[in-house]
Amino acid sequence: MSETHWHQLAEALDRVAASGRRVDFWLRDDDAAEPSAALDRLLSLVDKFEVPVVVAAPPALAGEALARRLDGHAGVSVAEHGWAHRNHAPPEEKKQELGAHRPRATVLRELAEGYARLQALFPRSFVPMLVPPWNRIDPSLLDGLPGVGFAALSVFGPEKPSPFRLVNTHVDVMDWHGTRGCRDHASIVADTIGRLRQVCGDDERRPDQTGRTVGLLTHHLVHDEAVWSFMEQLFSMTAKHPACRWRAGLDLIDQ
């Protein structure tokens, strides 16, 4: 960890610890549908560092094989990742499953069916969190989420004023618009430090405006070696650091 960016993160965490504060980190990994070598690698890594993970699974694609693979992993929570991770937007729009392109009742009915399916498949690890595919959801659906059973919504970016509880991710490891591999480690670390500053800023109102967590977003199925390397370095630095607390799915909802 001789790189300058890792030293900068270590110094930022040390400053948080010296101030008597502790920051909640959390890990959300999207698109789990069935067992795979990549999922095995993710589980091995989080087990090694005792870092909890919220696995976002599309209920139409998940089945008994995934349930058996995740059973017994105490640090694994399962959230609902839309219904089938299917795009319903026209080509000129950004991809969206939970948009206004279909009747609201149809979308909510799918979500309710998915909720019941994941509850049955993962009775010990399911958490009532909705993770919209592509991190997009039409605002008209929000007031229907409590009726389905959801207690939280997770998209990407700083939390904004919302009628529904947001537990977002803030740091994405993937370069989706470029190489589609890992982003430069220095850039990911810079985003992490930036989020730390938002959470631990001097403005006492700031935590309530932006949320209180640092959320890391990963997609195990498309990771290259640089992503796995980044995760291992981040976990090794933060898992036992006095400034950090890696949180499980229910912890985030119960705050």
**pLDDT tens digits, one per residue of 51-106:** 999 999 999 999 999 999 999 898 999 999 999 999 999 999 999 999 999 999 99
pLDDT tier, 158 (very low <50, low <70, confident <90, very high otherwise): very high
| Alpha-carbon gap, residue 140 to 100, rounded angstroms | 8
The pLDDT assigned to 210 comes to: 47
The pLDDT assigned to 211 comes to: 67
- Strand-pair partners of 153: 130, 166
The pLDDT assigned to 14 comes to: 96
**pLDDT tens digits, one per residue of 188-240:** 999 999 999 999 874 444 444 446 899 999 999 999 999 999 999 999 999 99
In the chain the domains, ranked by start, together with CATH numbers, are: 4-8+29-254 (3.20.20.370)
The pLDDT assigned to 207 comes to: 40
| Alpha-carbon gap, residue 73 to 124, rounded angstroms | 10
| Alpha-carbon gap, residue 34 to 22, rounded angstroms | 35
Average pLDDT, stretch 142-153? Answer: 96
Q: For 181, phi and psi rounded to 5 degrees?
A: -115, -155
| Alpha-carbon gap, residue 83 to 95, rounded angstroms | 14
The pLDDT assigned to 227 comes to: 98
Across 35-39, 93-97, 181-185, 207-211, least confident range: 207-211
Q: Tell me the Cα Rg of the chain.
A: 18
Q: Is the pTM of this model over 0.85?
A: yes
> Which tops the pLDDT comparison, 233 or 254?
233
**pLDDT tens digits, one per residue of 105-139:** 999 999 999 999 999 999 999 999 999 999 999 99
The pLDDT assigned to 164 comes to: 84
Closest CA to 252 of 131, 184, 152: 152
Q: What angle do CA 77, 74, 64 make, to 5 degrees?
A: 60
